[in-house]
Amino acid sequence: MPERFDVAVIGGGPGGYVAAIRAAQLGARTAIVEKDRLGGTCLVRGCIPTKAMLQSSELYSILKKGADFGVVADRLSFDLRAASRRRDQVVDQLVSGVEGLMKANRIRVIRGPAHIEKGGGFTVNGDRFHAENIILATGSVPARIPIGGVEHTIDSDGILGLDEIPETMVVIGGGVVGMEWGALYAALGTKVTVLELLPQILPMVEADMVGLYRRHFERLGGVIHTEANVEEITKNTKSLRVRFRLATETHEVAARVVLLATGRVPYTAGAGLEEAGIELDRGRVVVDDHLRTAVKGVWAIGDVIGGVMLAHVASYEGICAVENMCGYADRTPDYHAAPNCIYTDPEIANVGLGEKEARESGYEVKVGRFPFAASGRALTLGQVEGAVKVIADARDDTLLGVQMVGPRVTDVIAEATLAVQQRLKLHDLDLTMHAHPTLAESLLEAALAADGRAIHIQNRRMQRPAAALSANPPIKERAVARSVEEKPKSVDHGAPPAAHVDAGRVEMKRQHRDELLRLYRQMLLIRRFEERAQVEYTKAKIGGYCHLNLGEEATVVGGIAALRPGDYIYTSYREHGHAIARGVDPRAVMAELFGKETGVSHGRGGSMHIFDLKHRFMGGYGIVGGHLPLAVGAGFAIKYKKGDEIVFCMFGDGATNIGAFHESLNFAKVFHLPVVWFCINNQYGMGTAVERASAVSDIYRRACAYDMESIRVDGMNLLEVMHRTSEFVDRTRRDSQPRFIEAVNYRFRGHSVVDPDKYRSDEEKERWRHSDPVVLFQHQLQEAGIADSAALEQIETSVGAEVEDIVRFSDESANPAIDELYRYLYAGEWEMYGDA
């Protein structure tokens, strides 16, 4: 009878042992199988031994400059054997620590290679075991490249065995492993030559930051050749010779040691995976977005699934997989804030998007830089090389990424990681007090620099002219007042701007699960927000009018998802859902309805005027179609600036019967303006049915009078709206020709909260309820196996909690101060938004 477990983990690296501990914490009877030492590549041959050695070389480098610090050491030398001994002690201590953790968590440790069988069974050294769930965490091994003489090289495992410092070394591959070992030996006096096939070493780091590091490496005597194609390694009595090609020229370099660091490949040898039916793709185990393999009950994590091959990513995936299999959570790994650390000297670290990557993803970016040469702490350490670079979304200041080169940046990155993970804004960093003197202050300064407000360096551009200061209260004070009140509470924001969705590409497929659930959540949030607005209106928390668009969610979310962050939305006044779909903070939208200072228009817009310049959301204009000519104005501005933005002008069917509609469409066509007209036909203009109020009730047909391409879409079907709008938006962006979309939907409540809605029959309403866009999308998600009822319930709960928080926030926010009622009313106030 085989020994049975709830969870068996194959591989004891940072993915495997962390998964095993989490499974045991959740009450699973757990086993871990390891054929070598617990701790895996990370503890035994990777992260830890390299860092222990790098610590020795760093100490050596510092002591060489010791006299400057007042520490005079004669006959300084480096003892590689002693450093290796210390390294091994560190490794031993950590490995025995992991063994202790296995014991403390009552995890059965099985020694030997595991071989998987069908149906949950596996064998180790001939013994049979069975587990309900198996997690494959068999890691990776160094990649070999097929070049002549490769047998003369050593890899990242072999280099641990060196017992003397070589005079010369060639490193083939300028990735993390190659550069860390290269940096270490360069610091010890070895003449290191790096040969990298790509145009840049460390391709995961921004080119300008790599440049900062490269200068340091070259000062140590290191040589880097990029676009270098290694052809052969030959051996003679004294040394190795590496032949490589640069463009058309052939070169040769001699070395005592050649380190082959051309990456790592997933390791599955001997585990019987393919026979057990587990799908492999070029050696890596294929998993779905929940980390399940193709075989029921078998999961995989860490290096063996490819992707980002880092220890913390493996551990994170291990926890996700275990929590999913134990039914504790429904987790799809989110890699957008996976930090990347390189322990060269100076260190390199980054998280999130780089500047180039952000621009290529369609963001308009704001960048702030701060050099360590201006950091007090860096000066005291005597390590002033490098800089911090912060990349934010220019529209709303959300932090997109941080890149750093400099002392201890592998620790400083933790704060940046939290900020990127939580999608914090630049000002969230500057509202956080930073201890002095610390290296982390440089991150704060870089965030300030992005706004032209850095304190300890000269700013390249000031945020706004000094003259404006006398007219308005100081920016900082204002930012503090708003941001402290608006600071996110313990809600899951969950519904980032629709711009994060690749609208033309998302299909009802499992690989698009995250985007689909985000879209669904956004529709649900808008629905619950509006329902709650009605409740709050009846409690007299909302003054004036309160309009409802229940039933229009798919039209609104699908339409707006097709836009880029830089595009402009001109919409009818009072459209809460449009603002939320655009990513405007829903708390600020509700606070506006409540007339509070924290509202989008600081409580001056009442229940109607929802306007957010940072999101390019112009919802604050005149009644019915008053905003259509303004969209034309914005179209002209884009054309003159030769921008690639478009204007998305949203209006109801009622607006198509006014003169401004004719003038606007005519202008847009005559002057080839990049405007997409988006008519939301909910079939009633206040209380009159469209077909009774319009000569041409197929509204999209009217566009032909302006020689404009037009379509009608099913406004109750999110994906249809999104795909077809996306197509029109893309074409208008390319050819600057206006286009017209009519989205037909049905609003379930009257025009406003106080509309008795007697002009429609109950049968009609009932008929349309079967096409409720939120419910329809729910069914589609379920039918496609993308979300089960538990996942949908979880979203409902989280949206419910968010709506509670939105109302609480609005309730608790202050009313505008009477003596400041005219603040924010005039154009001069716009300066607070910088260049937006």
Q: Give 420 or 690: the residue with its C-beta nearer to ligand FAD.
A: 420
Nearer to ligand FAD, 142 or 599 (CB): 142
651 burial type by CB count under 10 A (0-12 exposed, 13-18 middle, 19+ buried)? buried
Please name the residue that has the structure tokens 């591959």. Answer: 173
Are the C-beta atoms of 99 and 107 separated by less than 8 Å? no
Nearest to ligand FAD of 175, 620 (CB atom): 175
- Count of alpha carbons within 13 Å of 152, Cβ hemisphere only? 23
Q: How far is the CB of 231 from ligand FAD (least distance, A)?
A: 25
Residue with Cβ nearer ligand FAD (67 or 414) = 414
Shortest separation between residue 248's beta carbon and ligand FAD, angstroms: 34
- Of 436, 500, 578, 751, the active-site residue reads 436
Q: Is 427 a catalytic residue?
A: no
- Smallest gap from Cβ 413 to ligand FAD, in A, equals 12
HEC assignment per residue over 370-407: EEHHHCHHHHHHCCCCCEEEEEEECCCCEEEEEEEEEC
CB of 483 to ligand FAD, least distance (A): 34
> Is 655:661 a contact under the CB 8 Å cutoff?
yes
Residue with Cβ nearer ligand FAD (137 or 498): 137
Residue 189, judged by CB atoms within 10 A of its CB (0-12, 13-18, 19+), counts as: middle
| CB 351 to ligand FAD: min, Å | 13
Sign (positive or negative) of CA dihedral 626, 772, 548, 648: negative
Select 116 or 499, whichever has its Cβ closest to ligand FAD: 116
Q: Measured from the CB of residue 238, what is the shortest distance to ligand FAD in angstroms?
A: 28
Q: Are 597 and 568 in contact (CB under 8 A)?
A: no
Question: Which residue's structure tokens are 């606070």?
Answer: 591
Whole-number Å distance between alpha carbons of 730 and 635: 15
Token pair listed for 7: 């969870």
Nearer Cβ to ligand FAD (271/391): 271
d(CA 724, CA 704): 18
CB of 284 to ligand FAD, least distance (A): 11
| Rounded least distance, CB 513 to ligand FAD, Å | 23
DSSP state of 650: E
10 Å CB burial of residue 794 (0-12, 13-18, 19+) is middle
Tokens of 58: 């760093």
Contacts of residue 595, Cβ cutoff 8 Å, sequence gap at least 6: 542, 543, 603, 606, 607, 815, 816
Binding site for ligand FAD (CB under 6 A): 10-16, 33-36, 40-42, 45-47, 50, 113-114, 137-140, 156, 177, 267, 270-271, 302-304, 309-312, 314
- Whole-number Å distance between alpha carbons of 523 and 773: 9
Nearer Cβ to ligand FAD, position 321 or 584? Answer: 321
Q: What is the CA radius of gyration of the chain?
A: 31
At a CB cut-off of 8 Å and minimum separation 6, what does 238 contact? none
Q: Mind telling me the catalytic residues?
A: 436
